[in-house]
Amino acid sequence: MHQKTELLQSIKDRGYPTDYLLSRLRGRRIYLIRDWERLLFSSDPLEYLSSTRYGEFTAKESTEGVWQYLLKEFQWVYFQMNRGLQDIFWPFLFYSEIRTLLICLRYKKRKALEGNVERLLSFSLLSEGLKTLLKERELISVIEGMEEVFISLSDRFRGLKDVFIKDGLKGLEQRLTATYLEHIVNSDVHPVIRGFFIYLIDSRNIITLHKHLRWSLSTPPSFVHGGSIREARLKEVIDKQDISGIGQLIYKLTSFMVEKPTATYVENSLLRGLTRFLRRRGRESLNVGLILDYLWRCYIEARNLSLILYGKGLDRDILTGELIH
């Protein structure tokens, strides 16, 4: 059985040519938000969004609707893909659904929020098997079932339940995400998709390194294997205890100079670098690169909107520096 059928919805191949999807995406790109200042300095961002395509999803004072819209948009794109494109993009689309999985687990842990699971899954691309698992079982049973599904993908995922029992949901999230990244970069995936995941691994490792130095942690950091930055180079920065070395790693990866290695600045520099990396791929690889660039732009838009809605009481200039363009 193909890997994606265990993880994502199985849908009929409508046979749409790739050019059809590219044409539709060029049209949809027009609706991506470009005037962030107008939204940022709006007296009521939710009211502003109510007149956009986010309208039906932002009725509540919550960022949840923004992420639900992202799931709906990814679902729409997936349904327009022919079988060849589905096979190329399933690793990216499932990676975006890991967040859905983890939010559902948090809802199930907090019994009062368990009713939110079905609503969140209504726009999810997760397979019917995973959706049923998340809706009907107790938390520990869900995690046991998840482990069975992921082991069918790779034996690397064995032990997820033990990680949850020992380290809780946070430990499970770290192990699941890291293992998925390592699995994908060692799989037969499209070069553009592999490049995206290699960049994610590098970013994750740099953030892990920054946390280790910033908090002077005694436990050795756990790096994800498969990135372009050698682990020996990461350990060299630790040995020297020189946080400026992180700036050098970021510059090598993104060509951005890091003025101050704060957690926010490090993360935002990496996100901006990935955004620029994917825009370049969109120009170089006119099919896969363009589609991936669009999906990433949608994600960045959701992230920016979430920041604006969550930080309504914060200084606008501070929020401006947090946005990714």
Q: How many other CB atoms are there within 10 angstroms of residue 261's CB atom? A: 17
48-96 tens-digit pLDDT: 888 888 888 776 556 888 998 999 999 999 999 999 999 999 999 999 9
Residues 6+ apart with CB under 8 A from 28: 294
Q: Would you say how long the chain is, in residues?
A: 325
pLDDT of 260 > 80? The answer is: no
pLDDT at 222: 94
For residue range 247-258, list pLDDT tens digits in order.
Answer: 999 999 999 988
Which residues in the chain belong to E strands, given as ranges?
none
**Considering the chain, what is the average pLDDT of its residues?**
91
The rounded Cα 10 to chain-centroid distance in angstroms is: 21
Q: What is the pLDDT of residue 261?
A: 79
**Which one has a higher pLDDT value, 137 or 21?**
21
Q: What value does the mean pLDDT take over residues 295-309?
A: 95
Rg of the chain's alpha carbons, rounded to an integer?
20
The pTM assigned to this predicted structure is: 0.94
The residues spanned by each domain of the chain are 190-285
What's the pLDDT tens digit per position in 124-170?
999 999 999 998 878 999 999 999 999 999 999 999 999 999 999 99
Q: What is the pLDDT of residue 1?
A: 38
CA 92-262-214 angle, to 5 degrees, is: 100
- 8 phi, psi to nearest 5 deg: -115, 160
* pLDDT of res. 242: 84
| Residue where the block lists tokens 């499209």 | 190
Residue 111 CB contacts under 8 Å (≥ 6 apart), including other chains: none
Q: Where are the alpha helices (DSSP H) in 35-155?
A: 36-40, 45-50, 64-80, 83-109, 116-121, 128-136, 139-153
At residue 47, the pLDDT reads 84
Residue 5 pLDDT more than 70? no
Q: What is the mean pLDDT of residues 197-218?
A: 95
Q: Is the pLDDT of residue 9 over 50?
A: yes
169-191 pLDDT per residue, tens: 999 999 999 999 999 999 999 99
Rounded percentage of the chain residues whose pLDDT exceeds 70 = 97
The pLDDT value given to residue 310: 86
Quick check: 313 pLDDT over 80? no
Output the pLDDT for position 10.
87
Between the alpha carbon of residue 284 and those of residues 26, 37, 182, 222, 287, the distances in Å are 16, 30, 25, 34, 9
Q: How far is CA 241 from the centre of its chain?
A: 30
Q: What is the pLDDT of residue 316?
A: 82
Say if residue 303's pLDDT is above 70.
Answer: yes
User: Among all chains, which residue has been given the structure tokens 């499970």?
Assistant: 172
Type of residue found at 57: F
